[in-house]
Structure 1
């Protein structure tokens, strides 16, 4: 009759292997515990019923996979932090600069308003309607043909009666067409970058007359 020696295995080792709540150590500690448990199992295995080599190989492969994923997560986190730092630096350099982004707000100051139109394709007719805060039409502009892409425009502040409109906030509506068929046209607002905000959602530019926008939302920088 064969006598098999038994050894009590540290419960924390089993908890670690089973993914329990005690598995809170570093990757190296997890590897050390795994090897300790594996060696203990092999030392105390039944000589008449030894461990299956395939099982041992499978466990080692699983450990290698988990270790690789842990290292990958660490690398990705480091790259993410570096990217965020670079974004913060880039955004900070834009403070005091004027930018153009999608929006329908038009600020009039000293009888001058800057805005823009973005077209997916060239148009043979582009119309702009400028409204005041109450929604009343102040000015209608027929700009004729316009090329595709971003087109910078200005308003001299005069209304349809030829009088000078008061400085303040206005709204713009854009329509464009080719051979009488409407095409996509995006109104663009102009504003100065006053500050930068960084949070879990990323880096945001605080732009007067536009609001908070991401770096990717900027169409043009002045």
Structure 2
């Protein structure tokens, strides 16, 4: 199975800014040197002002270096996660199905119930805020819950990671066990979301939801 190559990185967006700051700093030093050479001995330049400007330039340069370092760390972490995700292809994993990625207006969750039940599904965003609630009926066995990203307020929610909790009751009002864990072979990886998503048959599982991994002994 062919797997798309993982990007090694991108050109830093700060490089142009650093170059501009460096040029301005060199220009400032040249002007300072020229002014010092040609200053009026009877009316010398205010050295405190120049000192403050030097401190400001130094502070900006240090901040740019810090931003570059953080950018490099984030890129390294992202590439490591992508490489780890590719390593799951062909492996059998067990994962929690509570989380899913909303991509292009669609998020999908797989779950199962012990018997036919009335369910209440609650979708929450990454901060734990409830964004959508829906009630319905499902038959015994596995079911699929699809969400188009439209919240209970009627507004389209942004792409990203969302979680679901499902409460199920039978006809007598008794609670029914709901299983969101799934086990299957990883057949591919989707990198378009906020984190890698493993493809298991028709299901999509966030990398962070993986509970166990084992070698596929049937292949």
After TM superposition, the score normalised by the length of structure 2 is 0.50
What's 1:201 paired with? 194
The structure with the larger Rg is: 1
- Match runs of 1:13-162 below 5 Å: 25-99=19-93, 100-103=95-98, 105-106=110-111, 128-129=114-115, 135-138=137-140
Measured after TM superposition, the shift of residue 61 of structure 1 is 0.8
Matches of 1:97 and 1:219 in 2, distance apart?
A: 13
Residues 51 and 186 from structure 1, CA distance in 2 versus in 1: closer, same or farther, beyond 3 angstroms?
A: farther
Cα drift, residue 74 of structure 1: 2.0
* 1:67-119 deviations in Å (ceiling 9; x for gaps): 1112122222222222222112111110122331224525xxxxxxxx7xxxx
Stretches of structure 2 that go unaligned for 5 or more consecutive residues are 1-15, 99-108, 118-135, 146-165, 170-174, 215-219
Q: Following the alignment from structure 1 to structure 2, what is the Cα–Cα distance between the partners of residues 214 and 57?
A: 53
Aligned partner of 2:209 in structure 1 is 217
Determine which structure has greater relative contact order: mean sequence separation of CA pairs < 8 Å that are 6+ residues apart, divided by chain length.
2
Structure 1 residue 27: Cα displacement: 4.9
What secondary structure, in the 3-state scheme, does the structure 2 residue paired with 1:25 have? helix
Whose strand fraction is larger, Structure 1's or Structure 2's?
1
Segments of 5+ residues of structure 1 without an aligned counterpart are 1-21, 107-114, 116-126, 140-168, 177-181
CA contact (8 A) 1:190 1:210 kept: no
- Superposition RMSD on alpha carbons, in Å? 4.0
**Count of equivalent residues:** 146
User: CA 1:39 to 1:202, structure 2 compared with 1: closer, same or farther past 3 Å?
Assistant: farther
